[in-house]
Amino acid sequence: MGFPTIRPRRLRRTDALRKLVRETSLAPSDFVLPLFFDANLSAPKPIASMPGVFRHPVQDAGKIAGELKARGILGAILFGIPEKKDAKGIVGLDPNGPVPRAIAAMKGAVPELVVMADLCLDEYTDHGHCGVLHTDAHGQIDVDNDATVEILAEMSRVYAKAGADIVAPSDMMDGRVGAIRSALDSDGRQDVIVLSYAVKYASAYYGPFRDAADCAPQFGDRAGYQMDPANAREALREARLDEEEGADMLMVKPALAYLDIIRAVRDASTLPLCAYNVSGEYSMLHAAADRGMISLERAMLETLGSIRRAGADFILTYHALHAAEVLGA
């Protein structure tokens, strides 16, 4: 018989064969659902730029926890919109704020649910930046790194006391992982996990999130503390520093335009690694599907599969509920 004698297509002949040799799998347990709890609401409010995503009233937190359990989704990460904001984000330390109350409600309803709390001041500052502002040595208004870290450490204490399993600093301040770990340990909260947004880029893909969390910067941008999208070696340095400071898990954000970074961090660290399939990535698929350009279901699973294939152990994604339904949880 002539060429070819090696025929890889044999393994693609049937659906059963393709599943048998599939290298990367997806399951509802791979997903964490981001949730927005708004202290000003009494009923869910749709987010116009994110089809199918809502701001929720805190009183719905327990019900949502039950829905996640029913779908086979093991975790959620919580963001809060307070009644009022202030210049330093101090309102985020309120133990009766939307996130602490939602944490307690979700853990009360489904104790085994893994509840994560995002740690950042942008949702709580009236200027939308991720920290306390000051005038630096060059006469420029900038985020005061060390003053911000102090508040984040206190916020971690509040969320841990409310019952959070995981706190997730997303601010990109230097030294915040070590400060948070120290604060938690000093409170006897050695069991609370620190998931560091270790590699977070200053990305154009965050636009819809800033609508959802009402946290767009009122001036300037976040390029002074989030990473330059052009940089890869810097990602490994940031991940290594956070690991050395005591991070239990690492994150790369965004995901889809940074699959190479996910793979590089995966190869460099043995810590659990997740990736955040961010709002812009989510809304792009919906926009294309609404115009008949793609199949939403197929593109969603292909996207999530690519993130897992790149090396993510789990994925923060707004697709979680839909994907779990499609996967047959």
Asked if residue 111 has a cis previous peptide bond (ω within 30° of 0), the answer is no
CA 99 vs. chain centroid, Å, equals: 15
In angstroms, rounded to a whole number, what is the distance separating the alpha carbons of residues 213 and 252?
A: 20
In angstroms, rounded to a whole number, what is the distance separating the alpha carbons of residues 169 and 116?
A: 10
Q: Per residue in 131-158, is it b (16+ CB within 10 Å) or e — as a string?
A: bbbeeeeeeeebbbbeebbebbbebbbb
In angstroms, rounded to a whole number, what is the distance separating the alpha carbons of residues 25 and 2?
A: 36
Q: Who contacts 30 (Cβ-Cβ below 8 Å, separation ≥6)?
A: 304, 308, 313, 314, 315
Q: Which residues are catalytic?
A: 200, 253
Where does residue 238 fall: left (phi above 0), alpha (psi -120 to 50 degrees), or beta otherwise? alpha
Q: How far apart, in Å, are the Cα atoms of 135 and each of 25, 99, 132? A: 49, 30, 10
Q: Which of 196, 315, 303 is nearest to 256 (CA)?
A: 303
Which residue type occupies 39? Answer: A
